[in-house]
Amino acid sequence: MVRGLYTGWTGMENEQKRLDIISNNLANSATVGYKKEGVTNQSFDDVLTLKIRDESENFTDKRIGKMTLGVKLGEVYTDYTQGSLRETGNTFDFAIEGSGFFKMEVLDKDGNSKERYTRAGQFLMDKEGYVVDVNGNHLMSEGGYLQVPTDASQIVIDLQGNVFADGAQVDKLVVTDFENYDYLKKFGESMYEAVDGARVKDTAAGIRQGYTEQSNVNVVSEMVNMIAITRAYEANQKVLQSIDGTLELAANSIGKI
């Protein structure tokens, strides 16, 4: 009976974690380049059940069967499917059509430079002509930091990522892809860091200037899942209440006899 309390509790904890993930997805449904997350779950490994020192079994241990102790949380995973492209018309808005990431150089709080990767393509040009994100992190190109002439009247980036200023090529964007996205660790809401074991591969992705990639969160689907999670949470809660009521009856009523 106490085991039932534990089983109900693990079910509630699992649904709470799923609800946290969905809430974060909904909060970022309008975040450019955001990739939705999910969480896996599984039952605990079955444990062997024995009848121990039972007089009816001549005080010998007898195997009854197996039982599970409830559900346990798995891992949080990211869905990397491409979001829809939205036309903005802005010169420094870029969207990747296909697989891959923009390569960024990010400075940490100690001033150390680290490589990060993102699908969020909202950039701007600073006073020195460098193309940066809203936090001042540099967009990387084949020549290093992507820099364009500040006095250029027209900046054009073609499908292959070649950068032209007033008709003359000045650089080329870097699009990086990986063989296995399991070796990417999330950094913030829309950036990723490659960990040990990550292997870069070639990509045929194209660059769309004047577009941004929207979040791949389906709001309607997430809301439906949220309702299902809420009902599952309430069901586990009722299990706890029922068992608690039974224990109270056993302690306060039957125990008096």
pLDDT tens for 47-59 read 555 556 565 555 5
Give the Cα separation of 99 and 247 in Å (integer): 56
Q: Are 119 and 132 in contact (CB under 8 A)?
A: no
Q: What is the mean pLDDT of residues 181-205?
A: 91
Residue 257 banded pLDDT, cuts 50, 70, 90: low
Radius of gyration of the chain measured on its C-alpha atoms: 27
Q: Among 87, 94, 98, 107, which residue's Cα sits nearest to residue 172? A: 94
Range 190-212 average pLDDT: 92
pLDDT at 247 over 80: no
CA distances from 137 to 61, 105, 117, 197 (A): 67, 6, 11, 25
Of 111 and 49, the structure prediction assigns the larger pLDDT to 111
- Are 132 and 155 within 8 A, CB to CB? no
pLDDT reported for residue 107: 80
Burial label, 37 (beta-carbon count in 10 A; 0-12, 13-18, 19+) = middle
Of 22, 34, 2, 25, which Cα lies nearest the Cα of 213? 34
Residue whose tokens read 């079955």 = 46
Structure tokens at 10: 């693990």
Q: What does the domain layout of the chain look like in residue ranges?
A: 1-79+228-254, 84-214
By the 8 A CB rule, do 97 and 78 touch?
no
Gap between the Cα atoms of 78 and 38, Å rounded: 6
Question: Tens of pLDDT along 78-109?
Answer: 999 999 999 999 999 999 999 999 999 988 77
At 160 the pLDDT is: 92
- Strands 200-201 and 175-178 turn out to be antiparallel
Q: What mean pLDDT do residues 37-52 have? A: 66
For the range 196-205, what are the long-range contacts, defined as Cβ-Cβ under 8 Å and sequence gap of 24 or more? 200/176, 201/177, 202/177, 203/98, 203/99, 203/100, 203/175, 203/176, 203/177, 204/98, 205/96, 205/97, 205/98, 205/99, 205/100, 205/175, 205/177
Structure tokens at 203: 């990509």
**Burial of 177 (C-beta count, 10 Å sphere; 0-12/13-18/19+):** middle
pLDDT, mean of residues 176-188: 92
User: What pLDDT does residue 111 have?
Assistant: 73
To the question of pTM greater than 0.85 for the whole model, the response is: no
Contact indicator for 150, 125 with CB cutoff of 8 Å:
yes
